[in-house]
Structure 1
Amino acid sequence: MSAANPSGDNSGILKKHTHALPQVNFSDDGPVRHLHLGTEWIQGSMYTDEPNALVHEYIQRMMAWLLFVPPESVKERQALQLGLGAGSLTKFCAKELRMKTTAIELNPQVLAACRNWFKLPAENPSMQVVVNDAAQEIQNPKWWGTVDALQVDLYDHEAAAPVLDSLPFYNNCRRLLTPEGCMTVNLFGRASSFARSVEKMSAAFGKEAIWAFKPTREGNTVVLAQHTSSRPKRELLMARADLIEFNWGLPASKWVRVFKPMLS
């Protein structure tokens, strides 16, 4: 296993905030490269020979919103990630799903690392990264009602609990979504409380709008919240799952088996 720190041609990206934010480094473990924020905790990963693939099961599950929209409509929709991580979701949405995609990332070193080490493409008309505090950025009215797939994966360098996990935050998240939009959230951490987090999401979105996976072996639980609650029939979910697997290689049939509404 090898490790490195960011360097190279991204000095402009690194100018602001770096004094207060953790250092970014990566490690290589066979065919997989991991992103770290100065600790052993993994903040994201990439297959070095397949950079657009989604490595971790929980990251794949962050794509469960696909079950709630017609597959042929995906490329016309917009994705927003809160937290860039190793750029996995941003790359997948932009390159594989061909969606208009934006990520909001506080730490400019993370953006530099993604471009240097994790094959994040340069910004283009369909993909951009905004360097800002997500809690502030999502209060900008330009985002309201524009997002079909909101993916929230915000953890500090210790990965102890979600950085943003309040009712006002989830209210702002719901305001971002289109009527068919969904938010997926990764809940993980030693200090996190699944029940408390879900209670706040339920207060913002309505209890009937909340769906959850069973935890992964690593302890990540992905929760989905719909802007407009619905109960698609299992037959429709399975039909869409088959198309998701065929089109994008994601294990969507398994999702349907381990994914259910909190109120059923």
Structure 2
Amino acid sequence: MSTPIDISEDRGVRYLHFGSEWIQGAMRIRRPHALELAYTREMMAGLLLRDAFEWPRNALVIGLGAASLVRFLHRHCPQTRIQVVEIEPQVVAAARQFFRLPPEDARFSIHVGDGARYVTETDNRFDLILVDGFDRHARAGVLDTAPFYAAARVCLSDAGLMSTNLFGRSRGFRASVERIIDAFENRAIAFPSCDSGNVVAFGAQGEEIAVPVTELRERARALKDRAGLDLGPTVARLEQAGSLPGGRLIL
């Protein structure tokens, strides 16, 4: 059964819906390369944890939606090769028509298929895997299972991070975090819930991450100057939530 696609606009922002009230993506029409929704900004917090000028060299985006993450990466991370996996061809068509999806080229390609199957079959390794795939009922399905997270970890490079969007107000939220913690052998963290109720969780592979909060703040300021991405509030929320033991983000 095909996914119903609806487009709405309000106060200069264009929204993607899958035949329901749930927002599946958004783009501010006058600032198409900015990350409009708070959780998409936090999904890019890996740029605070690795060397943002060289990392990521390659990224896998599972779930295209309104192409927000793709537009940001394509514009602000020119060193990054981007692979998108999207199960619904209608979503790809809508992103091209309404959300300024960049044209495919040597550093950007789209595979129409199942993201869970893709991570079990690919031989590629990625510095960054971004998972944001939901159906019309806001269910992640196989993209929120132990086998998927384990396979995603195998696909990561030695500097690899997985970032995934979870619904913090749903009953399965804590179980989702536990699955990620288990798959990444405790090298995982769930950020405090955004105002929208979304929770972004990270899993790390390879090089240990231990970044002092003072450096996180400095990196956040530099990222805001370079790409217009303001993660200062995210760092503050991590501090307030007690997620930085010893004044460091450890992953």
Q: TM-score when scaled to structure 2? A: 0.90
- Residues 161, 189 of structure 1: 8 Å contact kept: no
Asked if residue 174 in structure 1 is aligned to residue 153 in structure 2, the reply is yes
Alignment of structure 1 residues 136-215 onto 2, 5 Å: 136-143=117-124, 146-161=125-140, 163-188=142-167, 191-207=170-186, 209-215=187-193
Partner AA of 1:43 in structure 2: Q
SS at match of 2:158: strand
Q: Distance in 2 between matches of 1:160 and 1:170?
A: 16
Task: Give the equivalent residue in structure 1 for 2:106.
Answer: 125
Question: 1:236 Cα deviation (Å)?
Answer: 2.5
Partner of residue 62, structure 2: 82
| Alignment correspondent of 1:96 | 76
> Quick one: distance in 1 between partners of 2:141 and 2:217?
31
Match of 1:50 among 1, 16, 31: 31
Describe the superposition over 1:27-79 as per-residue Cα deviations: whole angstroms up to 9, x where unpaired. Answer: 111200000111121100001121111101111000011111112213x6111
- 5+ residue gaps, structure 1, are 1-19
- List gaps (5 residues or longer) in structure 2: none
- Output the CA distance in 2 between the equivalents of 1:59 and 1:37: 18
Does 2:12 align with 1:34?
no
Give the 3 Å change call, closer, same or farther, for CA 163–192 of structure 1 in structure 2: farther
Distance in 2 (alpha carbons) for counterparts of 1:238 and 1:48: 29
1:192/1:109 CA distance change after superposition, 3 Å: farther
Decide whether the 8 Å contact of 1:160 with 1:189 is kept in 2.
no
Q: Which amino acid aligns with 1:77?
A: R
- Alpha carbons 1:185, 1:224 under 8 Å: kept: yes
Q: Which amino acid letter does the alignment assign opposite residue 19 of structure 2?
A: G
The DSSP-based 3-state class of the residue aligned with 1:111 is: helix
Aligned positions, number: 241
Query: What's the secondary structure of 2:183's corresponding residue?
Result: helix
**Alpha-carbon distance in structure 2 between the residues aligned to 1:193 and 1:261:** 25
Contact 2:86-2:115 within 8 A present in 1 as well? yes
Aligned partners of 2:211, 2:185: CA distance in 1, in Å? Answer: 17
Residue by residue, what CA displacement relative to the aligned partner does 1:187-236 show, whole Å, maximum 9, x if unpaired? 117644222111111111021x1122211111001111111342222232
Residue identity over aligned pairs, in percent, reads: 35
- What amino acid maps onto 1:151 in structure 2? L
1:111 aligns with 2:89: no
1:248 pairs with 2:227: yes
| CA shift in 2, pair 1:169/1:36, >3 Å | same
